[in-house]
Structure 1
Amino acid sequence: MSSTTKLFGLSAAASVLALSAAAQDPVSLTIVSWGGAYTASQQRAYHDPYMEANPHVTINNDDGSANALAGLRAQSQAGNVTWDLVDMLPSDAQLACDEGIIMQIDHDEMLAAAPDGTPASEDFLPGSLGECFIPQIVYSTVLTYRPGAFEDGAHPASINDLFDVENFPGRRALQDRPGTNMEWALYADGVDPEDIYDVLRTPEGVDRAFAKLDTIKDHIIFWTEGAQAPQLLADGEVAFATGYNGRMFEAIEVEGMDAAIIWDGQVVEWDGWVVPADGPNMEVVMDYLHFATDTQRLADQAKFISYGPARASSAELVGEHADLGIDMGPHMPTNPDNYYAPIVLDNDFWVDYGDEMRERFANWMLQ
């Protein structure tokens, strides 16, 4: 492990001095994220304000987060790290952290305290911080449907209906990975959300999940990129689609797609930043992170997309959508009206069993 993969902390004074010395030198940051409405929300809440305050910095977006772990590994092995900051899921972040290809984080040293002085380690939501991971948002994968897809105006209301091809016929668009699909299969088969991962840790539980998925196998279209799911719905190619709640919000509320979200069984997860080890612009990256993860900035992102901020102190600052003027509270995954049957994604499970599950799922898709 190189020295830069060790615990990294910069005092505020040292950071300011380093940035001041290089203030006139142009800096170009490559920030990797998921694209679409999500990257657009980061651009408006984080990137644009930061560049306005730091005119010597240019931020370039790379929509490579879907394959971020592989990209980080390849850059590290080649000794040529070109990414400055990466938006990544916690399970992949833990693997990258274990491999020493991203920085360990001293949260209270590197991140802003809450406005009332609460340190970052106590202000970020419980369980969200990782050894190498800084959360931004709480988001969920939800089931969405086209109201006009079913006869007699039928409206599905639960994950069970995804698996009910008799009463709710039509194609289903599912992501081409086991996560969410395995959880929903067991949930629809009668497993309580709190027991899903205990069941999935057994061979019998895995077989049970695949058996349930087999019941809709002939009705599935698989998607890979987040933008594909709402597009399949909008084009009328599917009756149901799984997707990220922010993508679906954008398609429904901003673009006017005729669809409705089912919050039953939403799979709740964190998403956030990791810092590639040996990156070329470390001082500027640290300064950007301090800015972009403070209380106000995380609340600002909720003006543009329906993801909940990962800081407790940000919650009371969430207001109306910047363009639509609608109250964003009811569109948040954590709104009590939506959070009635959540499945909280178990990142430890996916770290321990992910490779095995992905291999079996990939083979199942080809059968």
Structure 2
Amino acid sequence: MLKKVLIMGAMTTIISIAAACGNSSSEKSSGGKDKTDTLVIADWGGAITEAREDSIFEPFEKEFGVKIQVESPTDYGKYKTMVESGNVTWDVANVGSMWAAQAIKQDMFEPIDYDIVSKDGLFPNMANEYYVGAEMFSTAIAYNTEAFPDGNHPKTWEEFWDIEKFPGVRALSKRPYDTIEAALLADGVKPENLYPLDIDRAFKSLDKLKSRTEIVWWEAGAQPAELLSSGTVAATSAWSGRITAAKKDGAPVDIEYNQALLNSEAWSIPKGSKNKELAMKFINFATRAEPQSAFSESIDYSPINEKAIELLPSDVKERLGQAPEIADKQVRVNEEYWAEHFEEINQRFQEWLLK
């Protein structure tokens, strides 16, 4: 804040005192007054941003004496335009890890300063040179509990494909990411042998499912729970948090974490950020065990910090698929592979859908 110090009878000069709140990111407004340090964060909005408000954003503001301004949703087109033009207004952005892996090649990010951002407790694949994991979620087998009562539901992708034993319409994501992995697991590929993906084999597996039953293709995360609740499909792939939320609300749905496909989202700093040091401090704070644990207790996304998982109550661990006996059965999606091959696989997938 600019302070005008008037020394009567001795000085008439206005002395400007610039307040530096631990870094040099304070900016002057056109009116000549200092602005409170503000960190601009791009996030997805909705329930996930609301969960971050209490668990991460407000505690960070309190600890560092700054203001967080959230812009939502994250817009990849805007991200790219800002960086290319040099007019960067975001300091931190939450992005999908697959997109992040692609964006590295386009020189979109500031490198992460691991002298500021601690790797303590982070899963090894969550600490990338240019981005840090924010949260994890699973694409899992979800099912209608009226169609498959008493635990008699598909527990593997191979059983999901078995319409004779587990009858009913199926639904899958209308994107190759996750769907190709599910098709290969259904065809007997071992999780440790998934990558590089055998695309020909995957499409043969999808052909088999298509010949056995109707497949409904979903595009929005809310659709699987709606399809299951209405009885339109008996089983579907689904984002785990959407199903657990619907189950809490009394919908006849449940989830199977065995062979669930584990994905993540990440914190990134746009190249040219004007508040880089504070952005690093935010990422360090947001990935610590305590904020991560608080976040996962308020919304069904899993921590990217192992120590945060240790802090979660047993029922939350189980709901998130992070109880030890469940977590080990999930399959980590290779986002770097998809960053390299998404365009060619997606083109073939979309052509296959039209057949």
Indicate which of 192, 200, 204 corresponds to 1:211: 204
Pairing of 1:287-366 with structure 2 (within 5 A): 287-319=281-313, 327-366=315-354
2-side partners of 1:84 and 1:171: how far apart?
Answer: 45
Q: Which has the larger radius of gyration?
A: 2
What does 1:146-185 align with in structure 2 at a 5 Å threshold? 146-149=144-147, 154-185=152-183
Change in CA separation of 1:275 and 1:126 when aligned onto 2, cut-off 3 Å: same
SS at match of 2:318: helix
The letter of the residue matching 1:195 is N
1:75 aligns with 2:82: yes
> How far, CA to CA, are the matches of 1:334 and 1:57 in structure 2?
33
Q: Provide the residue aligned with 1:103 in structure 2.
A: 110
CA deviation map 1:96-144 (0-9, x unaligned):
122111111112x222xxxxxxxx2343112221111111223321111
1:57 maps to 2:57: no
Q: CA 1:54/1:227 → structure 2, altered by over 3 Å: closer, same or farther?
A: farther
**2:7 corresponds to:** none
Contact 1:158–1:264 (Cα < 8 Å) also in 2: yes
Contact 2:38 2:67 in 1 (8 A): yes
Distance 1:261 1:152 in 2: 13
CA separation of 1:60/1:235 partners in 2, compared to 1, >3 Å: closer, same or farther? farther
Equivalent residues, number = 330
Instruction: Tell me the TM-score normalised to structure 1 length.
Output: 0.79
Does the residue aligned with 2:125 lie in a helix, a strand or coil? Answer: coil
Q: Distance in 2 between matches of 1:284 and 1:97?
A: 21
State the partner residue of 1:47: 57
Inter-partner Cα distance in structure 1 for 2:24 and 2:154: 57
CA separation in 1, counterparts of 2:154 and 2:329? 16
Question: Which 10-residue stretch deviates more, 188-197 or 264-273?
Answer: 264-273
Contact 2:39/2:68, CA 8 A, preserved across alignment: yes
Q: Deviation digits for residues 27-57 of structure 1, max 9, x if unmatched? A: 6655333444433322331123334556762
Q: CA deviation at 1:260?
A: 1.3
TM-score for both structures, normalised by structure 2: 0.81
* SS of the residue 2:98 aligns to: helix
Closer, same or farther: CA 110–181 of 1 in aligned 2, 3 Å: same
For residues 80 and 365 of structure 1, the distance between their equivalents in structure 2, rounded to whole angstroms, comes to 40
- Secondary structure of the residue that 2:177 maps to in structure 1? coil
Matched residue, 1:16 = 22
Is the alpha carbon distance of 1:122 and 1:248 closer, same or farther for their aligned partners in structure 2, counting shifts above 3 Å?
A: same
| Between 30-39 and 185-194, the greater mean CA deviation after superposition | 30-39
Aligned to 1:239: 234
Within 1, Cα distance between the matches of 2:150 and 2:122?
46
1:36–1:227: 8 Å Cα contact kept in structure 2?
no
- Alpha-carbon displacement from aligned partner over 1:293-328 (angstroms, at most 9, x marks no partner): 2221112112112333222332332237xxxxxx31
Counterpart-to-counterpart distance in 2, 1:80 and 1:272: 22
Tell me if structure 2 keeps the 8 A contact 1:193–1:341.
no
**Is the 8 Å Cα contact of residues 330 and 337 (structure 1) preserved in structure 2?**
no
Q: How much is the aligned-residue C-alpha RMSD, in angstroms?
A: 3.0
Runs of 5+ unmatched residues, structure 2: 1-19
Q: Structure 1 CA distance, aligned partners of 2:135 and 2:83?
A: 27
Structure (1 or 2) with the greater helix fraction: 1
2:138 to 134, 137, 140: 140
